[in-house]
Amino acid sequence: VNTIIVELTKELAAIVGRPNLIVDREALMPFETDYTRRWHGEALLAVAPSSTDDVARVLSVCQAAGVGVVVQGGNTGLVGGAVPADEVVLLTRRLDVLEPIDSLASQVTVGAGVTLEAAQRHVRADGLDLPVDLAARSAATIGGMTATNAGGALAVRYGTMAAAVAGMEVVLGDGKIVSRLSGLLKDTAGYDLARLLVGSEGTLGVITRVRLRLIRHPTQRLVAVAGFGSLVDAARAALTLRDRLGPSLEAADYVDAAGVRLVRDRRRLPPPLAVESGHLLVIQVAGEDVESLLPVVSETLDAAGVTAVSVADDTSGRERLWTYREAVNESIGAQGLVHKFDASIPLGAIPEFAAETHEAVALVDPAATVVIYGHLADGNLHVNVLSPDLDHYRVEQALGQLVAQHNGSISAEHGIGIAKRDLLTLVRSDDDIAAMRAVKAALDPEGLLGRHRVLREE
Ligand code: MLT
Ligand code: ZN
């Protein structure tokens, strides 16, 4: 291994320059463990190329040496997809170009390593915004969000990254560069390779640049936190708001009492509402005249049995209210090792699924605490299981079965990575998986990229 590393170091340094290579064991540590600390592995080294051509050169060196490559952006993933397993870590951080905004098309092309926050700042200066937003914005990168088809809170309104991506540039596993950055709304010239790369989790190619569709930054945004006595009531409110407000509803997220408690303890926050409520809905309404929508909002919340509401329409007030929902991930992480299960559930089955989740986990581990939160209006729940002595395998099996029974998906927005590989057969047929393997073999014939992620190697 050492001679391979010495040889790789020499060849890669000739491409990216020695300062853009990390080989020191201690310096590699931040890239070897993910946000959950559940997933960990060793890196041969880390390399940070700054152009698409250099990415292609790096891949060909790795291919010649027969070593695997894992792509890493902000390392905010939760399924072990970006954690190395005796591989070269390809860091996207120097792929950080922010191209000028194409205001006619309302699009912008940015480097894969640009953080969501940097992209937001760039386009907001022109009165525009990104149609996808998520809590990890300060570290999560556009490349990583594209590779995992990230969703976040605004998906109910604008869709996931799949809808936001108008094109991309990518180095495929075989080293060939495919550039589809024209951003044409209509372009049916053959297979949509760019679309295929969305959600491919670094297993088909290395995304180097992404062309994004932008939205007009709404003139007004209002956030309300509403309390409910049950998830049934909260779900009814979210779905009725979606129907009645139409495109003015930007988000309707959910967090249970256990989640709120963890956030309050960690961030030392007062209760979000005057009345203690077991189930919290965080809604975001946007438009030209949000005030005029308030009667519909309060009517709907009342009809669903709301217990208390808090509203904010200024930036810091909105952020304060979102914290009760957005800081759950971080607050759970601070508790120690957690089993995270991201699921998509048909809208009508959400309350039943949540109740059955509590029962199923109690059967596996009576001492476990279950925290449920997520993007309620689009059916995306984040189930988190905390226990001092957790049997990850049994929890995963129980939750996977439950999701499949309800015709849901074992991954809504976090991806498969290594965490969910073995659950794939619950929601994808053998023929479906065979088609995925055929695509993988065609675009990455040497099996260089993201080995063992998404699909187990045969
Ligand atoms: C979120 O919605 O906060 C993220 O998907 C992260 C998580 O599931 O914890
Ligand atoms: Zn989420």
pLDDT tens figures, 357-380: 999 999 999 999 999 999 999 999
Which sign does the torsion angle of CA 372, 426, 39, 21 carry? negative
Q: What is the DSSP letter of 312?
A: E
Give CA–CA dist 219/229, Å, rounded: 33
Residue 319: CA count within 13 A, CB half-sphere: 4
Cα–ligand 2 centroid distance for 134 (angstroms): 7
**What tokens were used for 327?**
């800081």
b/e for 165-203, b at 16 or more Cβ within 10 A?
bbbbbbbbbbbeeeebeebeeeeeeeeeebeebbbbbbb
Give the pLDDT score at 457: 83
C-alpha neighbours within 13 Å on the C-beta side of residue 156: 29
CA end-to-end span of the chain: 24
Instruction: Report which ligand 1 atom has the smallest distance to the Cα of 325.
Output: 3
Cα gap 73→8, rounded to integer Å: 21
Listed in sequence order, the DSSP H helices in 212-293 are 231-245, 257-267
- Report the nearest atom of ligand 1 relative to the CA of 326: 3
Strand ranges in 217-337 using DSSP code E only, listed in sequence order: 220-228, 249-256, 279-287, 308-312
Question: pTM of the prediction?
Answer: 0.97
C-beta 382 within 6 A of ligand 1: yes
Q: What local confidence, expressed as pLDDT, does residue 215 receive?
A: 98
CA distance linking residue 417 with residue 40, whole number of Å: 13
Rounded-to-integer distance, Cα 40 and Cα 422, Å: 18
Which atom of ligand 1 is found nearest the CA of 151? 5
Any ligand 1 atom below 6 A from CB of 329: yes
CA distance 2 to 55: 23
Give the pLDDT score at 1. Answer: 75
Site to substitute for ligand 1 among 149, 266, 328, most atoms within 8 A of C-beta: 328
As a whole number of angstroms, the distance between CA 136 and CA 429 comes to: 33
Our mutation pick for probing the ligand 1 site, out of 36, 38, 133, 134, counting the most ligand atoms within 8 A of Cβ, is 134
Report pLDDT for 386.
Answer: 96
- Residue 432 host element (H or E): helix 430-443
- Residue 62 Cα to ligand 2 midpoint, Å, equals 34
Residue from 245, 251, 235 nearest 304 by CA = 235
Radius of gyration of the chain (CA): 22
* Residue-wise DSSP of 339-407: EEEEEE--GGGHHHHHHHHHHHHHHH-TT-EEEEEEEGGGTEEEEEEE-TT--HHHHHHHHHHHHHHTT
| pLDDT for residue 174 | 85
| Burial (CB count within 10 angstroms: exposed 0-12, middle 13-18, buried 19+), residue 332 | buried
Distances in whole angstroms, Cα of residue 28 to Cα of each of 86, 139, 320: 12, 18, 35
**Angle 135-137-138 (CA atoms, 0-180°, nearest 5)?**
120
Dist. CA 171–CA 318, nearest whole Å: 40
Residue among 331, 339, 373 to mutate when testing ligand 1 (max atoms within 8 A of CB): 373
CB atoms within 10 A of CB 365: 20
CB–CB of 95/113 below 8 Å? yes
Tokens of 209: 């640049």
For ligand 1, atom 2: residue with the closest CA: 374
Distance (Å, whole) CA 68 – CA 70: 7
Q: Tell me the mean pLDDT per 10 residues along the chain, length 458.
A: 92 98 98 95 98 98 97 98 98 98 98 99 97 98 98 98 98 94 96 96 98 97 98 98 98 98 98 95 97 97 98 97 98 94 98 98 97 98 95 96 98 98 97 98 96 92
> What atom in ligand 1 is closest to the CA of residue 382?
8
Please report which ligand is nearest the Cα atom of 136: 1
Q: Are 363 and 252 in contact (CB under 8 A)?
A: no
Which atom of ligand 1 lies closest to the CA of 342?
Answer: 8
- Tell me what pLDDT residue 458 has: 78
At residue 94, what are phi and psi to the nearest 5 degrees? -90, 0
Q: If you ran DSSP here, which 8-state letter would residue 17 be given?
A: -
Q: Which atom of ligand 1 is nearest to the CA of 135?
A: 3
Question: Is the separation of the CB atoms in 234 and 376 below 8 Å?
Answer: yes
* DSSP designation for 370: E
C-beta of residue 119 within 8 angstroms of C-beta of residue 102 = no
For 250, other C-beta atoms within 10 Å of its C-beta total 25
Ligand 1 centroid–CA 306 distance in Å is 25
Give the tens place of pLDDT for each residue, 170-198.
999 988 999 999 999 999 999 999 999 99
Tell me the backbone φ, ψ of residue 167, rounded to 5 degrees: 170, 170
Residues in the chain, overall count: 458
Ligand 1 atom 7: the closest Cα is on which residue?
A: 329
d(CA 292, CA 376): 24
